[in-house]
Amino acid sequence: MNKRFKFDFWTIVTLTILGIFLLFLVYPLTTLFIDAFKEPLTSKFTLANFQKFFSKKYYYQALINSIVSATSVTLLSIIIGLPIAYLMTAYKIKGKRLLEVLIIISMLSPPFIGAYSWVLLCGRSGVITKFFKHNFNLNIPTIYGYVGILLVLTLKLYPFIYLYVSGALKKIDSSLIEAAESLGSKPSRKLAFVIIPLILPTLLAGALLVFMNAIADFGTPVLIGEGYNVMPTLIYSEFISEVGGQANFAAAMATVMVFLTSIMFLIQRYIINKKSYVMSSLRPIQIGELKGISNYLAHIFIYLVVILSIIPQLTVIYTSFLNTRGAMFLHEFSLKSYRTVFSRLGKSITNTYVYGFIAIIIIILIGMLTAYISTRRRSTLTTVIDTVTMFPYIIPGSVLGITLLLAFNKGYIILSGTATIMIMAFVIRRLPYTLRSSAAILYQISPSIEEASISLGCSPVKTFFKVTSKMMLPGVLSGAILSWITVINELSASVILYTSNTRTMSVTIYTEVVRASYGTAAALSTILTVTTIISLLIFFKLTGSKNISI
Amino acid sequence: MSVAIIIENVVKRYEKTTVIPNLSLQIKNGEFFTLLGPSGCGKTTLLRMIAGFNSIDGGCIKFDDKVINEIPAYKRNIGMVFQNYAIFPHLTVKENVEYGLKLRKVPKSESDRRVEEILKTVKMYDYKDRLPDKLSGGQQQRVALARAIVIRPNVLLMDEPLSNLDAKLRIEMRSVIRDIQKQIGITTVYVTHDQEEALAISDRIAVMKDGVVQQVGTPCQIYKRPTNIFVATFIGSSNLIKAKINIENGERYVVFNKDYRIKMNNLSSNVKDGQDVIVSIRPEELKIANKGLKVKILKGTFFGKFINYEFTLIDDNVFGENKVCEFVQDISDTNKFLRENDIIYLEPDLSRINVFNEDGSINLIEDVILYE
């Protein structure tokens, strides 16, 4: 366009959005990285924080644990998710639709609920543990530590592999497979030489997503990990125990963590850019039917996994209606937990909805406007914004919590303990879903539609609100629903940022579990899970789609 | 209402490349004016400069006496029709057409009347409550046309409006557009790369190449007397044959070979004896004769009304790489069909052929009009 600088509406939007990101993301992160290289008292440049981390086993063991557990979770998720995706796409499975919905629900409900219900079932005084103890005098293997983390995270994260891979499988045209068969390929060979290579890039992308989620998760290891320290829990405990407010060591650990996730993120980008095949399926793979024993095995396998992954939700819903005495559930139904929740913890419910609502409005606004400027008003500034909006992918929630707190508990802008800081954490963490879906739909809208409106006498800004935004809406909503669900379930950043006035349901569930108030935790978890499910159902209804894009 | 468009020395640059170095045109009020050229010639760029979607980096564009350079697109009162129709998918046919009227705050009763009238003109009135996804490409383009015209724009701009339609519909829509344009008499600038479409629809055509206007004229002028080889080959097809000028006793001849030369009465006085030239002969300007160019038939293709023959010159001095030439034989003219490898003589129609200088940049015939 013109070389002259035009100070129009979109310039203001660009600068505003850039300002928000600079203030709430770039500035805090820079502060964090600088802090990591500072001596706590003198503020001199030092590498001592990193030396401390890498010299004491207690610290660096957490890094090793993080990598080991995230890698195991990723491998297990592939082992489970890949066959399910293949079986569900290629063969007739009874109750497929329901299974799909259950898989999505188990993916979208908060992982700490999973951890907490497995503790209820198989923990030291868990139902199953006691059952085996009393009837058979058997000690079942402990659920705490590495095994528990593995169990909970795998059941929560294999859906990513499932969704990614079945998406890719649906795009394979059956003519490719027929071509392989016509060239003399046996069924087993066609799987190994045609299908696997075609879905490999997608599988790797999904695997890295699982890895990133697993390594950044805070709720699961904190509830079920016990002595098994991982980076997010270590950062959290080091940060919380720094009474004087000198968080340089925690900052150093956060830096190590961000360094690791950045590398993974770059690898993921590289794979997606270099190795993805463009396929469009005119004729998807024919759905076949398994016969005899293999049919039974397939059904047993799929149902077992899906039931296992949905058990936590069922457990919390069931136990939320039980009467309690202290940490104990009694064998009688009661609404006592709900009464307690509403009388004592009602604030956390309103907080969740109010903050969530404000956050989702901001997310939709920023998401649509950012998508618009970076696809239609390209400039150096939008390139900067594009890069900055990638940050949330690589910054674990707990790290984001610490950065925001460090940046805004002193200086000119003090936000610590406010609702604003919670909402901003939500916005930054969950914006990418909405941003990406908004950009995706914009690419499908021809610019000439906007030009048509302008040529008819509508100013460009008015055109955006009158035409473009309306056409964007379906795409925006499909991302916004994901943002919304993940906002109300957010724990790892809010657990650092909350105060008694600003706590949300997920934070309260966490604190209630920690003080062994299982009944109220179950009631809150039920409210949260039901909200999630209703949101999902509304989404399915609104978009008419049967799937959800991650 | 309708205006004349005066384009004076306009310049367009993208980054460092200059797309339009210096272009001037005058488009008359009420005229159907076509910008024609291969892709990348700058025709769409120029149209979008008139529309206001591209900035003007030098010179100026006027609607009548008014310079519009700094007027934003939405205030220029233009009607625009796009290649991909650009119908608002969330609005019905009627709502699409009403869109511009609502922005102009036209009273409801008048708006309804105008929408009804224009929808009847484009024969879409029966579809007024449909959503666009239920319409075919041709129907969508009718709606787009109605939407652009109903606001009574200063000018109507059309950017390859027919290129997404199939061949049959394209011919039908082109006469719809032509008829409606004449009916309401609006200045229209039409962009296309399809020379046949340009010839059929335009009052005048500007042929463009590399951001430079090669020739402006009526379809007939441009077809008959192209200003250079580019125009001669881009509009219709032309056989290009190398020859030499021979001046004898003040008479000018074009010499093809030692056996065959033709006397030309309309060559410009600038030609010199012995000058190398390129003779451009359209397929329909050749007739079978007893003398003339000696050729060998390669292939005949029957088209019904005529037969198209491919041939090569036996003397082998055709200009350029492709040495295969064509001529057409009207079916009614003859009962004799030529066969492969037949050797015949072809004689060009002296009043119609064109003669260019050696590099093809100048037409050496006297009555060439560069800018009508």
Could you tell me the CATH number of the domain that includes residue A216?
1.10.3720.10
Q: Which residues of B touch A6 (CB under 8 A)?
A: none
A542 & A397 share domain: yes
Count Cβ atoms within 10 A of the Cβ of residue B369 and give its class: 0-12 exposed, 13-18 middle, 19 or more buried.
middle
- Say if B151 is an interface residue toward chain A (CB within 8 Å): yes
A223 & A359 share domain: no
A399 & A471 share domain: yes
Of the three residues B187, B206, B224, the one that is the final residue of a domain is B224
**Looking at the 3D structure of chain A, how many domains does it have?**
2
Give how far A367 is from chain B: nearest CA, Å. 22
In the block, tokens 């109010």 appear at A354
B242 & B289 share domain: yes
A246 SS3 class: coil
More confident residue, A72 or A242: A72
B174 & B54 share domain: yes
As a whole number, mean pLDDT of residues A220-247 equals 82
B365 part of a folded domain = no
| Predicted confidence band of residue A546 (pLDDT cuts 50, 70, 90) | low
Give how far B16 is from chain A: nearest CA, Å. 12
Report in angstroms the alpha-carbon separations of A335 from A116, A339, A474, A511: 20, 6, 39, 21
Residue range A273-314, pLDDT digits in tens: 766 666 666 677 777 788 888 889 999 999 999 999 998 888
Q: Which residues of B touch A452 (CB under 8 A)?
A: 80, 82, 86-88, 144, 147
Q: What is the pLDDT of residue A464?
A: 92
Count Cβ atoms within 10 A of the Cβ of residue B107 and give its class: 0-12 exposed, 13-18 middle, 19 or more buried.
exposed
B153 & B11 share domain: yes
Instruction: Supply the ipTM of this predicted assembly.
Output: 0.85
Give CA–CA dist B23/A296, Å, rounded. Answer: 76
- Tokens coding A454: 């302008």
B-interface mutation test, from A4, A450, A455, most B Cβ less than 10 A away: A455
- Tokens coding A301: 């396998």
Q: What is the pLDDT of residue A1?
A: 41
Asked if B53 and A451 come within 8 Å (Cβ–Cβ), the reply is yes
CA-closest candidate to residue B141, choices B159, B162, B126: B162
What residue ranges of chain B have pLDDT lower than 70?
Answer: 315-323, 333-335
As a whole number, mean pLDDT of residues A196-201 equals 81
A186 & A220 share domain: yes
Asked if B88 and A458 come within 8 Å (Cβ–Cβ), the reply is no
A-interface mutation test, from B69, B88, B96, most A Cβ less than 10 A away: B88
- Give the distance, in angstroms, between the CA of residue A192 and the centroid of all CA atoms in the same chain: 31
B128 part of a folded domain = yes
Give CA–CA dist A123/A144, Å, rounded. Answer: 7
A452 & A538 share domain: yes
Q: What is the pLDDT of residue A335?
A: 84
Asked if B103 and A452 come within 8 Å (Cβ–Cβ), the reply is no
Element (H, E) at B260: strand B260-264
Q: What is the pLDDT of residue A3?
A: 41
Q: How many angstroms separate the most distant Cα atoms in chain A?
A: 83
Of the three residues B189, B224, B259, the one that is the final residue of a domain is B224
**DSSP-derived pairing of the beta strands B293-302 and B260-264:** unpaired
Q: Which domain holds residue A94?
A: 46-105+159-303
Residue range A161-172, pLDDT digits in tens: 998 888 888 877
**DSSP-derived pairing of the beta strands B325-330 and B306-313:** antiparallel
A398 & A540 share domain: yes
B38 & B152 share domain: yes
B372 part of a folded domain = no
B178 & B91 share domain: yes
Of the three residues B224, B259, B289, the one that is the final residue of a domain is B224
Of the three residues A303, A337, A368, the one that is the final residue of a domain is A303
Give CA–CA dist B277/B271, Å, rounded. Answer: 10
Give yes or no for residue A6 having a pLDDT over 70.
no
Q: What is the pLDDT of residue A492?
A: 87
B20 & B156 share domain: yes
B371 part of a folded domain = no
Residue range A315-371, pLDDT digits in tens: 888 888 988 877 777 778 888 888 888 888 888 999 999 999 999 999 999 999 999
- Say if B368 is an interface residue toward chain A (CB within 8 Å): no
- Say if B133 is an interface residue toward chain A (CB within 8 Å): no
Give yes or no for residue A5 having a pLDDT over 60.
no
A221 & A77 share domain: yes
Residues B355 and B285 sit within 8 Å (Cβ to Cβ):
no
Residues B360 and B229 sit within 8 Å (Cβ to Cβ):
yes
3-class secondary structure per residue, A123-170: CCCCHHHHHHHHHHCCCCCCCCCHHHHHHHHHHHHHHHHHHHHHHHHH
A193 & A340 share domain: no
**Looking at the 3D structure of chain B, how many domains does it have?**
2
Of the three residues A259, A277, A303, the one that is the final residue of a domain is A303
A219 part of a folded domain = yes
Q: Which domain holds residue B12?
A: 5-224
| Predicted confidence band of residue A545 (pLDDT cuts 50, 70, 90) | low
Asked if B88 and A467 come within 8 Å (Cβ–Cβ), the reply is yes
Please report the DSSP string for B173-235 in residue order.
HHHHHHHHHHHHT-EEEEEES-HHHHHHH-SEEEEEETTEEEEEE-HHHHHHS-SSHHHHHHS
A10 & A64 share domain: no
Could you tell me the CATH number of the domain that includes residue B106?
3.40.50.300
B208 & B274 share domain: no
| Predicted confidence band of residue A75 (pLDDT cuts 50, 70, 90) | very high
Beta bridge partners of B8: B60
- Say if B80 is an interface residue toward chain A (CB within 8 Å): yes
A20 part of a folded domain = yes
B363 part of a folded domain = no
B209 & B255 share domain: no
Amino acid occupying residue B334: T
B368 part of a folded domain = no
A60 part of a folded domain = yes
B350 part of a folded domain = yes
A316 part of a folded domain = no
B364 part of a folded domain = no
B195 & B258 share domain: no
A457 & A504 share domain: yes
| Predicted confidence band of residue A108 (pLDDT cuts 50, 70, 90) | confident
Q: Which residues contact B296 (CB under 8 A, 6 or more apart)?
A: B311, B312, B314, B341, B342, B343
Of the three residues A269, A303, A337, the one that is the final residue of a domain is A303
Residue of B nearest to A451 (CA): B53
B147 & B54 share domain: yes
Residue of A nearest to B16 (CA): A3
A272 & A332 share domain: no
Q: What is the pLDDT of residue A238?
A: 86
A344 & A485 share domain: yes
B57 & B191 share domain: yes
Give CA–CA dist A143/A188, Å, rounded. Answer: 38
Cα Rg of chain B, angstroms: 25
Give how far B126 is from chain A: nearest CA, Å. 23
B17 & B164 share domain: yes
Residues A206 and A165 sit within 8 Å (Cβ to Cβ):
yes
Of A80-94, A102-116, B188-202, least confident by mean pLDDT is A102-116
A119 part of a folded domain = no
